[in-house]
Amino acid sequence: MIRFADNETIFTPETMTQRRIDTTDSDNELSRLLQDVRACRLCEQHLEPNPIVKAGSTARLMIIGQAPGTRVHATGIPWNDPSGDRLRAWLGLDKETFYDTRRIAIMPMGFCYPGKGRSGDLPPRKECYEHWHHKILARLPRLEVFLLVGLYAQQAYLPNAYKSLSENVKHWRDWYPRLIPLPHPSPRNTLWLKQRPWFEEEVIPQVRNHVHDLLINQADK
């Protein structure tokens, strides 16, 4: 969870209702903030800055992932890879809807590709979470549902999270319908999915219906 530097308020998705009353931020303010994010160089000693975040002030669904991979870094389009294809298939969303920032905001834990380590990509830089996340969330007053993709997002945003991603996903009902922990849809996790068929058979249909209800059936609310 995020602690605001200004007033020591603990930020959680649950407290956003109160903040939405206090927030008068406009599309212009969000645009200015996103310009600042895109100019961010906080981690330039560690990586090649190329922040990838998409959001519109009317978004109702937030997808918080891990960090861009090489293909996303090269194209500047979030989830523009096989992981994104599987995530869209899980949610039953075409690309047009998925990238419609009026409905869906996309923000990884680390906005820039973190580079390679000995065993794959490095973890997301924590600077984004500490410096940017609460500022962006404060300008998205209509968010109702958060998809927390991967353990980093779950550790940051799930109250009383378990230590493992598998446990968080197994206990997904603990936080439903506002916060939904998901495994990363990377092809590298295909074995995890095969070993837990209940996830795609039972969890995904409910999540998909929930997202469709939010984005499509309640679109005018």
Residues that bind ligand SF4 (CB under 6 A): 37, 40-43, 49, 51, 110-112, 125, 127-128, 131
Nearer to ligand SF4, 131 or 196 (CB): 131
Q: How far is the CB of 157 from ligand SF4 (least distance, A)?
A: 17
In terms of Cα–Cα distance, which of 78, 73, 74 is closest to 55?
78
Separation between Cα atoms, residue 117 and residue 97, nearest integer Å: 34
Q: How far is the CB of 53 from ligand SF4 (least distance, A)?
A: 8
Amino acid sitting at position 217: N
Nearer to ligand SF4, 102 or 131 (CB): 131
Q: How far is the CB of 188 from ligand SF4 (least distance, A)?
A: 22
Angle between helices 82-91 and 204-212 (to 10 degrees): 80
Express the helix, strand and coil content of the chain in percent, nearest 5 each: 45, 10, 45
Residues paired with 65 in a beta bridge: none
Q: How far is the CB of 61 from ligand SF4 (least distance, A)?
A: 22
Nearer to ligand SF4, 68 or 183 (CB): 68
Separation between Cα atoms, residue 20 and residue 16, nearest integer Å: 6
Nearer to ligand SF4, 121 or 127 (CB): 127
